[in-house]
């Protein structure tokens, strides 16, 4: 069986590492990786392949820095050419990026089965490009590998039982990854060594709804500046967002650092007091490492984190952010709750693919 995996953004490298490792342990499967180039610089891309022993991509499309339509269109064209030449038995896509949708569209138009890892997630906000990507990808996939029961329920509510596509709750591949790499992160991390345990808040900020909306960005930075008077904030920042902050002369009173590799991110999670983020993946990773999270978005696809008291949604509103921060000492939650499977999602995905083949 020949599988082509399409990835392009940092969270997908982490997810692909889990399934690629399971594929390598299975006889009879050949995997080729297409890297679309969506995240392209060394800190956002190369370091993950080097650190995590992910097989080097067989193809790199080097497509980045474009608007959504141009980016997705160029990816679709490039992926299609590779699929025509390679004739895989299945195409494997992850999550909800432009790379995800382009890979799924290219495959389905060539009648190649599509497997969607992290299927069924919904924020119910159609203004988010990620929501559009994940809904469309789910509908044209042949395997829907869901990370949670909530994701299964979303698909059932949308009528997927009547479509006849397998919906499998395999658990979360990011949980597999976090547990596997946490055993070696302290030895391999570098940047995190400069920060003491419990002395800082870990923050990330990258979604367009925050970084491209100056009012939202200013409000979030104002909140972070106020919080940083009491505890330092460490913000690994994408170069594009750093440029937006500089261009608009926005004030930053806390620690901005370059994007970090996965091992450093794990160590920062282990050491931080709590997490503030607009990332989907980091909300879960905070939970994996028993840290409360303030989510700088109006919705989250990880509703079980909110419902069980691990996560509070604030959007970009300064008053809500500061209120959530002040309320943190009162939050109690059981981090032993098994929300995301048994850390065997990768194996279950590969077994399902082999059975269908």
- pLDDT (tens digit per residue) in 336-352: 998 999 999 999 999 99
How confident is the model over 207-230, as a mean pLDDT? 96
Partners of 294 in the beta sheet? Answer: 276, 312
pTM given for the model: 0.87
Residue 252 lies in a domain: yes
Q: How many domains does the chain have?
A: 2
- Pairing assessment for the beta strands 200-204 and 114-117 based on DSSP bridges: unpaired
**233 and 95 assigned to the same domain:** no
Mean pLDDT, to the nearest integer, of 165-187? 95
Residues 350 and 229 in one domain: no
Shared domain for 349 and 278, answered yes or no, is no
> Would you say residue 179 lies in a domain?
no
Residues 312 and 350 in one domain: no
Tens-digit pLDDT profile for residues 184-211: 999 999 999 999 999 999 999 988 899 9
Count CB neighbours of 142 within 10 A. 18
Each residue of 16-35: pLDDT tens digit?
999 999 999 998 999 999 99
What is the overall mean pLDDT for the chain? 93
Residue 336 maps to a domain: no
Q: What's residue 42's pLDDT? A: 47
- Three-point CA angle 279, 18, 152, nearest 5°: 65
Domain co-membership, 24 together with 164: yes
Whether 261 and 350 map to the same domain: the answer is no
| pLDDT tens sequence across 133-171 | 999 999 999 999 999 999 999 999 999 999 989 999 999
pLDDT at 280: 86
Mean pLDDT of 324-331: 95
* Range(s) of the domain holding residue 92: 2-172+341-356
Through-space distance between the first and last CA atoms of the chain, rounded to whole angstroms: 7
User: Please, are residues 80 and 109 in contact by the beta-carbon 8 Å criterion?
Assistant: yes
Angle between the N-to-C axes of helices 239-247 and 214-227, in degrees from 0 to 180, rounded to the nearest 10 = 90
In a domain, 168, yes or no: yes
Write down the pLDDT at residue 46: 67
> What is the reported pLDDT for 301?
87
**For position 135, which CATH number holds?**
3.40.50.2000
In angstroms, rounded to a whole number, what is the distance separating the alpha carbons of residues 348 and 357?
14
Which strand ranges, in their side-by-side order, compose the sheet holding 114-117? 59-60, 30-35, 2-7, 90-94, 114-117, 143-146, 167-169
Report the length, in residues, of the chain: 357
Do 160 and 16 belong to one domain?
Answer: yes
Q: Which residues, including other chains, have CB under 8 Å from residue 311's CB and lie 6 or more apart?
A: 283, 286, 287, 292, 293, 294, 295, 300, 302, 305
In a shared domain, residues 198 and 323: yes
Answer whether residue 178 is part of any domain.
no
Which pLDDT does position 14 carry in this prediction? 85
> Residue 69: inside a domain, yes or no?
yes
Please tell me the predicted confidence (pLDDT) of residue 65: 81
Per-residue model confidence as pLDDT tens digits over 234-254: 999 988 899 999 999 999 999
Same domain, 310 and 351: no
Q: Is residue 180 part of a domain?
A: no
What local confidence, expressed as pLDDT, does residue 54 receive?
Answer: 77
243 and 323 fall within a common domain: yes
Greatest C-alpha distance within the chain: 58
Q: Are residues 145 and 227 in the same domain?
A: no
Q: Are residues 243 and 309 in the same domain?
A: yes
Q: What's CA 270's distance to the chain center, in Å? A: 18
Residues with catalytic function: 206
pLDDT digits (tens, 9 = 90+) for 88-119: 999 999 999 999 999 999 999 999 999 999 99
pLDDT one-digit tens code per residue, 41-71 = 545 556 667 777 777 899 999 998 888 899 9
**For the chain, percent of residues with pLDDT exceeding 70:** 97
Tell me which residue of 7, 21, 133, 16 sits closest to 68, measured CA to CA.
133
Inter-axis angle of helices 68-86 and 98-109, nearest 10: 40
Does a structural domain hold residue 29? yes
């Amino acid at each position: 069986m020949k599988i082509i995996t399409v990835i392009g953004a940092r969270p997908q490298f982490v997810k692909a590492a889990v399934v690629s490792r399971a594929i390598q342990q299975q006889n009879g499967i050949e995997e080729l990786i297409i890297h679309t180039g969506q995240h392209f610089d060394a800190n956002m891309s190369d370091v993950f392949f080097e650190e995590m022993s992910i097989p080097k991509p067989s193809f790199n499309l080097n497509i980045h820095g474009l608007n959504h339509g141009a980016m997705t269109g160029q990816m679709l064209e490039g992926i299609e050419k590779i699929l025509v030449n390679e004739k895989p038995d299945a195409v494997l896509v992850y999550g909800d990026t432009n790379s995800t949708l382009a890979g799924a569209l290219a495959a389905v138009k060539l009648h190649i089965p599509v497997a969607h890892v992290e299927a069924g997630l919904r924020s119910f906000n159609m203004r988010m490009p990620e929501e559009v990507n994940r809904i469309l990808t789910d509908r044209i996939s042949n395997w829907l590998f869901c990370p949670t029961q909530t994701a299964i329920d979303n698909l059932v509510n949308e009528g997927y039982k009547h479509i006849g596509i397998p919906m499998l709750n395999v658990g979360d591949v990011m949980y597999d990854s976090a547990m596997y790499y946490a055993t070696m992160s302290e030895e391999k991390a570098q940047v995190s060594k400069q920060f003491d345990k419990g002395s800082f808040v870990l923050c990330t900020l990258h979604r367009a709804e925050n970084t491209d909306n100056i009012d939202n960005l200013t409000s979030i930075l104002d909140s972070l500046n106020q919080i940083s008077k009491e505890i330092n904030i460490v913000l690994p920042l994408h170069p594009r967002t750093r440029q937006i902050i500089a261009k608009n002369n926005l004030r930053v009173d806390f620690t901005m650092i370059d994007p970090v590799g996965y091992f450093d991110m794990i160590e920062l999670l282990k050491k931080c007091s709590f997490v503030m983020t607009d990332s989907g993946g980091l909300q879960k990773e905070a939970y994996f490492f028993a840290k409360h999270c303030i989510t700088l978005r109006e919705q989250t696809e990880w509703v079980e984190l909110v419902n069980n008291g691990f996560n509070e949604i604030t959007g970009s509103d300064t008053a809500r952010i500061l209120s959530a921060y002040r309320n943190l000492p009162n939050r109690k939650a059981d981090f032993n709750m098994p929300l995301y499977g048994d850390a065997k999602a990768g194996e279950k995905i590969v077994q399902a693919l082999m059975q269908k083949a």
